[in-house]
Amino acid sequence: MKALTFSEFGESDVLNYRDVSNPVLKPGEVLVKMEAIGLNFADIYRRKGNYHLKGIPPYIAGYEGAGTIIDSNDTDFIEGLSIGFADVPFANAELVAVPADHIIPLAEEISFDLAASVLLQGLTAHYLATESHSIKTNEFAVVHAAAGGVGQLLLQMVKALGAQPIGLVSSVEKKNFVESLAVCQVYLYEDDWVEKVLNYTSGGADVVYDSVGSTLNDSFRATKERGRVVFYGMSGGDPEPVDPRMLMDTSKTLTGGDLWSFLTSHKERTNRAAQLFEWIKSGEIKPPVITKFQLSEGRVAHDFLESRKNMGKIIMVP
């Protein structure tokens, strides 16, 4: 089979589209012919060596995708079934071995492209909005990096759950885009956003979802007493230390978030995906605009994602 691989860490020029051996199925796995593969910043970090990788080169990145079962060691899933997944390694290939408990069956109205564009980021947004902080009606919820993949979906979920979302973005172009997407209040980082949030909410947000990291202490400043900051990413660099005395004095809460802590069973995956797809089918959540590349164009796709010019979802097609 063909796969997008890398044998050393570095820029996109280390990527190589080449022949590799087909996966060998283990008990309880199915073999999936890939139709669409989601590209995420985690794939960039793996290529650069920022994440630990097991095994020996050539490495194959990718964790998200959709396709058709063509062979099965698990009798509960039949050949020909359309499925998606959000957390299966080695997805940047024509064929992927998928453990049965990671399978998310796709209804007829959910295309391969749609599944590959929303599962990883959509399930992330889902646990953030329902468990890291359970959104309640009329709360104010601030979403950092609101034009990003998770940010777009999280902003819309906050609204679907009856709260008032506030988006933070880095450019006027992104501000206009997010306002049209979710019809909500949006502020630029450069415009003293903390003060604007405090004024708009009359004292602070109920929750701030921070995926930037370097903004963590500002997020606490924008949160009301007994409010919560959910820290789930560091796209802007490591956060400064948080003063526990401040937490005590203001009764504020800091909560961490990582998707892999919440996808612990087949039921967990399918229930969260069912809610995500239902919101999409009802029109309460607009799926991201898709930019599509061939898997053989992996270098170009990586460069486009790293340029941060993309405001939708990049998928690659074998």
The percentage of residues in the chain with a pLDDT greater than 70, rounded to a whole number, is 100
CATH superfamily of 2-119+263-317: Medium-chain alcohol dehydrogenases, catalytic domain (3.90.180.10)
pLDDT of residue 74: 73
Mean pLDDT, residues 100-126 taken together: 96
Residue 54 has pLDDT above 90, yes or no: no
Of 40-44, 65-69, 74-78, 85-89, minimum mean pLDDT range = 74-78
19 pLDDT band, cuts 50/70/90, is: very high
- d(C-alpha 176, C-alpha 186), whole Å: 9
Mean pLDDT, residues 85-102 taken together: 96
Do 2-119+263-317 and 137-256 have matching folds? no
302 pLDDT band, cuts 50/70/90, is: very high
Q: What is the CATH number of domain 137-256?
A: 3.40.50.720
Q: What are phi and psi of 78, to 5 degrees?
A: -100, 155
Tokens of 259: 């998707």
- d(C-alpha 129, C-alpha 33), whole Å: 32
282 pLDDT band, cuts 50/70/90, is: very high
Q: In terms of pLDDT, which residue wins out, 296 or 76?
A: 296
Chain center to CA of 193: 24
Minimal CA–CA distance to 236: which of 184, 296, 168, 178? 168
Q: In terms of pLDDT, which residue wins out, 183 or 274?
A: 274
Q: State the burial class of residue 138 (Cβ atoms within 10 Å of its Cβ: 0-12, 13-18, 19+).
A: exposed
pLDDT of residue 53: 78
- Burial pattern 270-286, b for ≥16 Cβ within 10 A else e, equals eebbebbbebbeeeebe
pLDDT of residue 129: 97
Express each pLDDT in 240-253 by its tens digit.
999 999 999 999 99
Mean pLDDT, residues 226-243 taken together: 92
Mean pLDDT, residues 100-122 taken together: 96
Sign of CA dihedral 90, 96, 100, 105: positive
pLDDT of residue 64: 97
Say what the pTM is: 0.93
56 pLDDT band, cuts 50/70/90, is: confident
Calculate the average pLDDT of the chain: 94
Mean pLDDT, residues 17-44 taken together: 95
ω before 57 within 30° of 0 (cis)?
Answer: no
The percentage of residues in the chain with a pLDDT greater than 90, rounded to a whole number, is 86
User: For the chain, which residues make up each domain, given as ranges?
Assistant: 2-119+263-317, 137-256
109 pLDDT band, cuts 50/70/90, is: very high
Mean pLDDT, residues 104-132 taken together: 96
284 pLDDT band, cuts 50/70/90, is: very high
Express each pLDDT in 164-215 by its tens digit.
999 999 999 999 999 988 778 999 999 999 999 999 999 999 999 999 999 9
pLDDT of residue 235: 82
Mean pLDDT, residues 292-314 taken together: 92
Query: What is the residue-wise DSSP string for 235-262?
Result: TT-PPPPP-HHHHHHHT-EEEE--GGGT
Q: What are phi and psi of 263, to 5 degrees?
A: -100, 75
